């Protein structure tokens, strides 16, 4: 079993690129996590994890990450991505919800807030607060919107 992360950082970014993969990579760079190896994980925040505003991880590190991303090649299309971290009133584990779509930043943010509330309700727990990172992008040629919660040690 891997060590349980003790820290988390919430990020978002959007960018253009000459290809779908380059747009995604550039959005990761804009979010501040482009030089890391992201390991996509499901959406539980470990108990006691502390929010740290900026990552302090060496390039190439393997980082468990819950994220939402969307890439589009439709000029002038509006795309958005958001993540929400639901924190319980009991101080126990939290939930992470990710969303991406063809919508505004505000719509994406509202959706992750709704999903965090629903996840807490399904678990029979009280939701204290939701931490959100969201971004919106208007596509020029190939664009990407990306939002993530990096879990680290």
* From 37, 51, 106, 141, the catalytic residue: 37
* Closest by CA position to 127, among listed 69, 80, 85, 70: 85
Q: Catalytic site residue 107? A: no
| Candidates 12, 14, 43, 72; catalytic one | 43
Of the candidates 98, 109, 111, 136, the residue annotated as catalytic is: 98
Residue 104 annotated in active site: no
Annotated catalytic sites, by residue? 37, 42-43, 98
């Amino acid at each position: 079993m891997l060590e349980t992360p003790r820290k988390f950082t919430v990020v978002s970014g959007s960018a253009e690129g000459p290809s779908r993969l380059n747009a995604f990579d550039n959005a990761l760079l804009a979010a501040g996590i482009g030089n890391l190896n992201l390991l996509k994980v499901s959406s539980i925040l470990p108990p006691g994890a502390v929010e740290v505003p900026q990552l302090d991880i060496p390039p190439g590190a393997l980082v468990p990450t819950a994220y939402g991303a969307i890439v589009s090649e439709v000029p002038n299309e509006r795309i958005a991505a958001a993540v929400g971290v639901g924190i319980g009133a009991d101080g126990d584990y939290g939930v992470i919800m990710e969303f991406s779509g063809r919508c505004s930043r505000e719509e994406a943010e509202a959706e992750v807030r709704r999903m965090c509330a629903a996840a807490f309700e399904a678990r029979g727990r009280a939701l204290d607060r939701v931490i959100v990172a969201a971004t919106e992008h208007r596509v020029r040629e190939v664009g990407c919107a990306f939002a993530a919660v990096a879990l680290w040690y």
